[in-house]
Each structure stands twice: as structure tokens, then as C-alpha cells.
A and B are shown apart, each in its own frame.
Chain A
Amino acid sequence: MMRCMGTAVCPGIVLERCHKLVALPKFDTERKTDAPVDESLMTLTRAVESLQAEYAAFVTGAQVGASADVIAVQLAMLGDEYFLEGINECIREGYAPEAAVLRMAGEQEEALRALDDDYISARAEDVHDLGVRLACLIAQVPYPSLANLEEDCIVVAHDMLPSMLMKAQVCHIRGIVIETGTKTSHVSILASGLEIPMVVSCAGAMGAGENEWVYMDGDQGYFGHSLSEAEVCQYAACEKAYRQQKKELQKFIAREARTADGKRIEVCTNIVDSITLDKALAYGADGVGLFRTEFLYMNRPSLPTEDEQYHILRQAATRLGGLPLVVRTLDIGGDKGVEYLHLPQEENPFLGYRAVRICMERPDILIPQLRAILRASAAGNVQVMFPMIAIRRELLAMKKAVEEAKMQLRGEGIPFAEDIRIGIMVEIPSAVVMLDQLVPMVDFVSIGSNDLIQYTYAADRMNDKVSYLHDFMDPAVLRLIRRTIAVSDEHGIACSLCGEMAGDEIGLAVLVALGITKVSVSSSKVLKTKQLISRLNASSLENIGKDLIKATDATEAIRCLRAGLPADYPGGVREGKL
């Protein structure tokens, strides 16, 4: 097998026949023609009408959302008088019709890209797409299309425009591998939304032969072609095992997560928007343990209004029924996409002006967010959680702000849940140390293990040179987690953990050993987490928990943990680090 490495975009293991997408044709934008202008104008008109008809037909079948939006925009562009007039001008100057189209499209693309606004600039992709489609119609050259797929395949391409995927016979596409592209490009996002296994940036993938058996791993991010017969059998078995695993996991959708000895552990999920919420609901999560509100603030020209936030939160709360929706207030610093906040440039943004530290000085940010959360609490089980609490004074300020927002809403006669639950993220070591004084002030806490580990060992998790310090099995962090759970229990306060370690097989096991009863993981991990929990014996693990915190190092802790795990429990290769 020839193996090509790429970037994983959407998970899935597939062995299937390959369908190669023919390359996008190249046109000469300088080409002039001797044909009479009238003839060229006619050719153009026919092509435009033909494409309009194609799109109109597509609109009736399109899914709501991203696809429908792209079509609406392209249709409007196709009928734009300036665009068409511009093309006509080029034709009158003697350019061949397809050259004229591409020149005009190119001009509009540049004009859009020059604008300051990220959103609008992204529309340049649509103009480009449109131009190429028109040019193909004019030149009567096939536009690489997946619309006529009749058999299952893995589509392999050098490049793929979003409209190709939108018009595709998606039911026959078992996977996508492209040689270029990024994880966040439009087409990657579309494929992820459709849950089609996908690998991008996979150099050499087009070396595959048309219709040969090929293999892709959308979890690890690689693609294999030129398989020997033996390899085809081998990978067919891998795929079968993978499908079997997936099927096994489906059983857990309707099941509550309980350990082998019957202890109930809640498995909630982290979301950023309504799409991730959909997935959470589809996988039977016990609620939303973390709604990351940053995404409502990023990549836009200005602050989201209270109403905008309220509508999103209310919709989420309603769809969750009575299940909890824990909304974390703005947890952001000088990150990309919030230039409108004009935050100062900092040397150490993660040790700097972010989250509640900003909110304490910016009631114009904090109060509207709190009002939106409170208003949404009238529609469901909404809870509010403050990130980055380091000292008591910050929590007092946040609680005061909640009271202020409540008072305003009361005065305006706007309903909200008076007894809305308030909690904090425990992610700064000082909070763990002083937890006994903080816990009486809140209704719940959630351990943010990612940041807790960074701050505890003073090591940046993005820095390879200090990655050895990012080990959730190290006794220091185990003791901090243990303390947090114990102090919460003493005060009758709910304690959960949201962080990457909960999504790790060993991490989950050690959390159960330390006494955790609720975790929040990414939606793609909900089913797997429930399954893992069903394999753990809580009492065996909890007995070990006392010894765990006496371990002198991570290796000892792991060895200790293993004694409480079933022999066939995964995580065999030591992966305590993240």
C-alpha cells in the first residue's frame, strides 16, 4: 500500500472503490475571439440561463443551512446587473465569452477580498465557483461533478469546491480525500456536517487509480492506495471491526451511563452552537456541561447584543427540555476574532487580561450576557458558570453583577428563574487551595482540567519542550482534583470535570477512582464515554483512589490505577499526556 499522510477532518474508517474527481479545467482569461459579438453574447445568455435553471432545480432539493445559503448568493450574483454588464463589456472588447466571464468574476473576487470584513471576503469563494461553472457551460467542458454517482465510492480529488459537494449524490460518498485544503475550509465544514469521513492536505492521493480499492482513516488522517490483495482483506477486516464498534456504541444512546457496579455517572457535553447541540441530543447526553459562549463573540465586527445571545440560549434551553444547560460567561482574551474589543497586546495572554478579569471592568459586556442568560432561564434549566476565578473578590463581583441584572429584569417585568444555579470553573490553583471558602458561595463547580494542568505545572500545553509536564496522571493534579471533589462533597455541592482528560480512557478511569460523578466531553465522545463507564467498577477504583494520591509519580499512579481496571480495558500504551 502507498500511504499518504494528511489532516483528519471527520472520523471514520473506510475501505471502498476510488472515484477520482477530474481536475478543474484551466481557462485562458486572455483569449480573444473573432466570432461576432452578438454570437458571444448569445452564448453567454444561454449559459447563464442554463445555470440559473440548474440552481433553481437544486434549491428545491437543498438542505437548509450552508448549502441553501451558497445557492441563494450565487443565484443573486448570476442575476447581478453590474456583473452581467461587466461581462458584456469584456465581450464587446473582443474577449471570448468564457474569458470574459472569468475576468469579471476575477474582478469581483478581488473587490470582495479587498473589503475589511471577513464575512464578505469569504463570498469571493462563491464568485470564483460561479465563474468556473459558467465558463465550463460556455466551453461545453464537463464541470467536475459528483451529481451522477451511481455507486458507493471514496472521492479523491486535488481540490474540491463547496458547490461540488452540495450537488453531489451524497448517499454514495463514503469518504473524501483531497490533496489540498484545510480543516476549516468551507468544504471541510460541509463534509463534517454531513458526517462524511474526510482527510485533507493529503499529498499524493491522486496517485490512486480510478476504481481501485482504497483505504482511508479519518481519525488518524491518512489514505492508502495501490493495495495488495492481502491488504484489501486486511483492511476490509479493519473496516468491519470499526463498523461493529460504532454499532455497539449506538446501544448507549438511550442508556444512562452507569458503572459495571451500578454507580450513576452523568455524561454531559460541551457545545459551541446549535449544530453541536444537535449532536449532543442525538447521542443522548445528560445535558450540556459547558456552553462555550466565546463563539458568539468571535469573528464578527462588534459585540453580540443581548437579544442575539438570548435567542440562541433560549433555543438551546428549549431543545434540551429539562436537561441542564450550563452557560460559561465570556472566557476570552486577546484571541483572534475579537479585535473590536481593542484588548491590549500582552506578553502572556494566558496569564493576563481575560475572562472575568475583563468582565469585571466591562459591564457593557458582562451585564448584557448575564441578562441574556437570565432571560433564557425562563425557558429551561439554564445555569451560569464563571471561568478563571482566582480569588474570592472576583466571585463576589460576578455574583453582584448577577444581582444587578436580576434587579433590572425585575424592574422591567421580564421573567427569569430567580433560583438560577451559579457555579465556577475550578482551573486556577489558588481556587483549589481556597475552595472551602469559595464553595459556600456557589451551587456547583466544574474542574477545567486543561487549564488547571497548565497553571499547576507552569507549562504551556502548546509548547513541545515542556510537554512532559502535561500529564494528568501526575499526582499533583490528581491531588488537586481529589481535593476539589472532597471539599465539594463536604458542602453538598455538585462537582464535575470538563477537560480533555475526561475524553481519555485512562483519564476517565482515574476520575472515577477519584470520585467524580459527572463529566462533560465533546459530543463525538459521548457514546464512547458511556461505554467506557459501563466497563469500570466504581468501588474497586474508589478503593484505589486513596492510594493513587500517595503515588510519587505518574508511572506509579498508572500502575496503581491498573490494579482497579479490567484486564481488557483500553489505554494499554501509556497515554497520560495530552
Chain B
Amino acid sequence: MIRTPALSLLFFLSLVMLSGCAGGGKSAAPGPAERAAMEGALGVEAYRRGDLDVALWRFEESLRIHRSTDSRALEVVDLLNIGRTHTARGEFTLAKTRLEEAVRLSRGLTGEGAPQAGGADAEKLLPGALVSLARARYMAGDTQGALDNIKESLTIVSEDDDGGVLGPALNLKALILMDSGRIGEAKEALARAFDINSDAGDAGEFANTLRAASELELSEGDLEKAMALAARAYSLDRTIGDGAKIALDLRTMAGVRKGQGRTREAVFLLERSCLVSVGAGLGSGAVDCLDQLIEELRGLGEAERALYYTGIRERLSGKTSEEPR
């Protein structure tokens, strides 16, 4: 047999290369689909860490690739991701355009023989697209359009297998109804959202439900209950580590404390909210929070601290890369 180590090594490597080439020939051609999937995955990763510019770029690249291969279901996925990223950046008009495109495309995907979205049922993309479109529409000022989209998504999706859409849809519906003064209907939607989100195991969405319920209690004057709900949402968001939501929870709690007349505590919570917003790179959200904090500090006569935060605010205002969620 082979006596020298060098010859043994050479023999082994040749074997590997031969088997690899053979094996590589039999595998599916990775090509554009793989690249697009990779781009999409990296985009979601960037979105999660708050790097929305990179996320958008990755999703656009994935969309380009999928369009070049007429992968419509995957195109819907990319359009959804792009629309949601634009919404997170506060670009509601752009988000609306992309999400309307996603809805239009996903309507054509329903029915037998519809292409698959990488294994997921393409039919489930339509309710998700409608919910995201409703969100962008409402932030753009189209309340009725938003409610119509949510209503349609609720009629399509089933409670047994909603694809993670029912919970957010009900949360958004409750918030829109609350803002419109339809408190009774908002309470119904929230109650249903409570049941679904607590069972779904989605801590983030459940925290959204708790926060919305806290806002409702605050508007009705039950401050104790509002505080309890907001504190529960806060602890859930802390386990997830979502800075934007943690900042929102702190601000909600600050609002409750102010309503209770505990001004110093309220200012402390607001201060924490602003620091979390700044740390999470929330851009104009952090600036709004700081504006409110500076006003409260001046009201308490704490001019030095107000000046300190004014400096931070001015530095943040100069930045354009950070955008609100």
C-alpha cells in the first residue's frame, strides 16, 4: 500500500475532491434563488438589529433577483419586507406603495396551483400584507382604509392557523378604534387580542396588547390598572430586548405616573425612556422624547439637567441616519 505520509495525504485529498465534485453535480443549482434567500435572511438580520438602511438594501437586492426569475410568491415576501422596513423608517407613502403592490400580487397567488413562497403557503401572505398595509395607511392618515384592510384580513385568516397575523391585526384594530373614540368596540378587539396573543407565545405581540390595554385604561381614568398593564408589557419587552418597545413602555408608565400626580417619578421614567431611545438609535423618536423631557425638567426647575439633555437633543437632531420605528 502507500507507505509515505505525503502520498497518503495526497490520496485522501483526491478522494475527497472526487466525491465532492460528484456530490456537487447532483445537488440543486443554488444560483439566484439561493442568493436571494441569503439576501433576504441577511436583511431580516439587519432589521432585527436596527440597521434599517442595510436591511432595505438587502431586501431590494432579493426582490431584484426574484423578479428576474418571476418568483412571485417570493416577490411578495420581499415586497412585504420592504414595506415593513419603510414603515419602520417612517416612510409611510413609500411603504403604502410597496405594500399595495404586495397585496395586489398576493391576491393573484391564492387558489390551487399558486406558487409557493419557499414552502410556506402563499395564501397566508395576503392577510399579512393587508395588516401591514393597514398599518402604513393609518400612519399616513387614512383611517377608514386601514380599518377596511384589517376587516378583510380578519375575514380571510382563520384562528387555527393564522400565520401570526391575527394577533397584530386585532391589536391594530383596537388602537385605531380607540383613537376614533369607539371604546366599546376597541375593548372587544383587545379582549380577543388578549386571548390570542397570550396563547400564541409571541411575547412581543402580547406586550403590544398589554400596552394598548394600558392606554385604554389610562384614557378611562383607571390609573392603577393602566400602570399594572404597562409594567407587564415592559417586563415582556425587556426579555425580548426590543429597545423601541421598551422606550414606549417607559413612556406609557411615565404618562400614568403623571396622571397620578407623581411628577418626579414620571420625569424619571421619561428620562429612562429617552436614554433607551437614544441607545437604541431611534432617531426622531428619541428627539421627540427628549423634547418632552426637557420641558418637564424646566417645569420642575431643573435647569442644569434640562441643559444637558438639550445638548444631546441638538446632537441627535443633526444626525439623519437614524429613523423612527
Are A and B physically bound partners?
A: no
Q: A: which residues have CB within 8 A of B?
A: none
Q: B: which residues have CB within 8 A of A?
A: none
